[in-house]
Amino acid sequence: MRLKFTKMQGAGNDFVVLDATQAPLDLQPETARRLGDRRFGVGADQILVVERSRTPGIDFRYRIFNNTGDEVEHCGNGARCFVRYVHEHGLTDRASIKVETMNRVLELHLQPDGRVTVDMGEPVFDLLQVPFDSTGLTPRAEGHGQLWPVEVQGHAVELHMVSMGNPHAVQRVADVDSAPVLTQGPLIEHHLRFPARVNAGFMQVVNRGRIRLRVYERSAGETLACGTGACAAVVSGILLGWLDGRVDVEARGGSLTIEWAGPGHPVLMTGPAQTVFEGEIEL
Ligand SMILES: N[C@@H](CCC[C@H](N)C(=O)O)C(=O)O
């Protein structure tokens, strides 16, 4: 079978995008793995499948698969690429569209300069704490947030947990370049306190309006940027009293701007999205 695809990237987080608006596509985990493989396939952190929505008032549905084949709830950089994709492929001419994912409805806006702003929905705080409740561990309060001690490599690491639809555990580090992302990242991802695993964020606060961020993503490993990870880090920093409501996030592959007015409000993410090339693969 030959499959047409579009390779895209948002701040260096890269995607294989597949069009299922004309004919249904039942993407199997092994096909997602093959497409994501950088040597035997196309190469991508995630695979995105674009579908029409059956829900009135919603334009599209999109499904997200990590390059290990597991389907996940949310992908911020993917959402921006999604908007560019549906415009470049003539699937819509509307600058603002509504899209449903596994567990959220997102509003996406294509800006005149080609960047995309995504209403990422509201952060959720209690979801990831359930496995901590029975441990007798107590979190440390800071600002309006809670930092939970988690043992990693024999050290207690303080994590702030946020769900953006998908799970994130964020820690503050003095310097992202020397942070133990590749050693601690997989241990946090698979820590027994996170039965559904977690995306592990390492945030350096430069000032109240700027952070540097690296994320060891669930399944995909460290990526050049993580959109939901950027939202989770900024939300954490605001709640903990370290950041103001509008923050520039420097990831290794590019910059995003995240805005959050506080609990009860959605998180807004603005950043770039680009097509890299199009092709066909024999599967
Ligand atoms: N790169 C993404 C997040 C993709 C999903 C994540 N690895 C998970 O398993 O939750 C983003 O830009 O948000």
pLDDT at 122: 96
Q: Which residue has the tokens 């993917």?
A: 78
pLDDT at 130: 67
pLDDT at 2: 93
Over residues 111-127, mean pLDDT: 93
Ligand 1 test: best mutation among 161, 215, 226, 270, most atoms within 8 Å of CB?
226
Counting atoms of ligand 1 from 1, which one is nearest the CA of 231?
Answer: 13
| Whether the CB of 165 sits within 6 Å of ligand 1 | no
Task: List the beta bridge partners of residue 13.
Answer: 10
Residue 46 has, within 13 A of its CA and on its CB side, a CA count of 32
Non-local CB neighbours of 44 within 8 Å, separated by 6+ positions: 7, 14, 15, 16, 35, 36, 67
Residue 172 binned pLDDT confidence (cut-offs 50, 70, 90): very high
> Is this structure's pTM higher than 0.95?
yes
Tens of pLDDT, residue by residue over 16-61, are 999 999 999 999 999 999 999 999 999 999 999 999 999 999 999 9
pLDDT at 192: 86
> For the chain, what is the mean pLDDT?
95
| Whether the CB of 76 sits within 6 Å of ligand 1 | yes
Whether residue 231 lies in the annotated active site:
no
Least confident of 77-81, 189-193, 274-278: 189-193
Residue 155 binned pLDDT confidence (cut-offs 50, 70, 90): confident
Give the residue, by CA position, lying nearest to ligand 1 atom 3: 75
Catalytic pick from 226, 247, 269, 273?
Answer: 226
Let me know if 244 is exposed, middle or buried by CB neighbors in 10 A (0-12, 13-18, 19+).
middle
| Whether the CB of 119 sits within 6 Å of ligand 1 | no
Residue 138 binned pLDDT confidence (cut-offs 50, 70, 90): confident
Tens of pLDDT, residue by residue over 76-115, are 999 999 999 999 999 999 999 999 999 999 999 999 999 9
| Whether the CB of 9 sits within 6 Å of ligand 1 | no
pLDDT at 126: 76
ipTM reported for the complex, 2 dp:
0.99
Whether residue 226 lies in the annotated active site:
yes
